[in-house]
Amino acid sequence: MSGVGVASGVTAMVTVGSSAAVLVVIEHYPTFGGQALRYAGAFLALLLVQAVRKVRHLRLSWREVGRLALLAATGLAAFNVCYVQAVRHAEPASVGAVIGGVPIVLAVLGPLLARGRPRARVVAAAVVVSGGVALAQGFGGGSAAGLLWALGALVGEVAFSLIAVPVLPRLGPLRVSTYAAGLAAPMLFVAGLAADGSGVLPVPTGGEVLALLWLAVVVTAAAFVLWYVALQRLGADRAGLCAGIAPASTVVAAHLLGTGTPTGADIAGALVVGVGVVVGLRPGRGDEVRDEAVVLDPPAGLDAAGDVDTPRTGGPVGGGDGRGGQAPGQQPLAAETRD
């Protein structure tokens, strides 16, 4: 198993977990407007990285464009809409417990979509990780509507990973992260207009600007790329185990920053998550070893195997050699990758 993949997945989720303290700073800023600014900022940051790295823009097929748009619409925009509605109809703890089931879903669906079979050890580890998240979160309460919205957020969280898997080999984590952030920003702005009207983008305070910059550059741009590196190296099933690390890292961050004191349930949940992650990521029989160098941006014209790319159906979009490219509450969710 790739040590780079494990390090990338863990780092991404630790970064995500540390965002809880930052989210408090912008809790009074319009949710969808803040998210739109966040993803727009991440898009610009990733474009800058591409320019520095001299990354060429690839000619995308209509199928790739559609998949990227679906990724942004479900894994980012729809996730935020569902999450905001969920915490309005249910307690944040119950929403967190539902979304904490992400590792189980990825452990089962990831291999099936790849025409393989779920591995019993990984599925069992995912159950342990999700149980640890639920233990730390508590179960809270809420209405049936809240549960349905939470399930919608769960679907969006899973879509963020699974929809990206087929395009990662050709486009690479850097391009996929850039396109997803760029497409999600206008979608969330439209959602903000519907929710807040002309007040969707008020002038942020100095503290809110710093918080949004942190969320855009570190929690979104950097964490997205790291997460997609983990997906490529580990596969969706094992990478999904790392999602449980975010709540545990939130507990640690809150303690270090003095914004909260861990409870017994927090500590117990974090320990359970750690056990599940270690067991699930431990190499086993049949695990694929992926020790090749990380390729954040595969060369233009090459497919996943490094061969000359063949023409794609549906016609190309773009081309040329130009160089390119917060939900309310403070609960520590793995889903805070995008909330």
Express each pLDDT in 186-197 by its tens digit. Answer: 999 999 999 999
Average pLDDT over all residues of the chain: 79
Q: What one-character DSSP code corresponds to residue 317?
A: E
Strand partners, 214: none
1 against 115, higher pLDDT: 115
How confident is the model at residue 47, as a pLDDT?
96
How confident is the model at residue 76, as a pLDDT?
93
Given a cut of 50, whether residue 141 has pLDDT beyond it is yes
Kindly state the average pLDDT of the residues 103-128: 89
210 against 83, higher pLDDT: 210
Distance CA 242, CA 255 (A): 21
Lookup: tokens for 52: 């520095």
Given a cut of 70, whether residue 140 has pLDDT beyond it is no
CB neighbourhood size of 322 (10 A): 9
How confident is the model at residue 294, as a pLDDT?
54
Measured CA to CA in angstroms, residue 190 lies from 38, 119, 193, 202, 216 at distances of 14, 41, 5, 15, 19
Given a cut of 50, whether residue 316 has pLDDT beyond it is no
The residue ranges of DSSP E strands in 146-234, in sequence order, are: none
Given a cut of 50, whether residue 336 has pLDDT beyond it is no
Q: How confident is the model at residue 180 (pLDDT cuts 50, 70, 90)?
A: very high
Do the beta carbons of residue 325 and residue 202 sit within 8 Å? no
Express each pLDDT in 272-298 by its tens digit. Answer: 887 888 878 777 655 554 444 456 767
Express each pLDDT in 6-52 by its tens digit. Answer: 899 989 988 887 776 677 788 889 999 999 999 999 999 999 999 99
Kindly state the average pLDDT of the residues 246-251: 66
Choose among 222, 216, 93, 75: nearest CA to 147.
93
Q: Report the range of poorest mean pLDDT among 131-145, 243-257, 292-306.
A: 292-306
How confident is the model at residue 201, as a pLDDT?
95
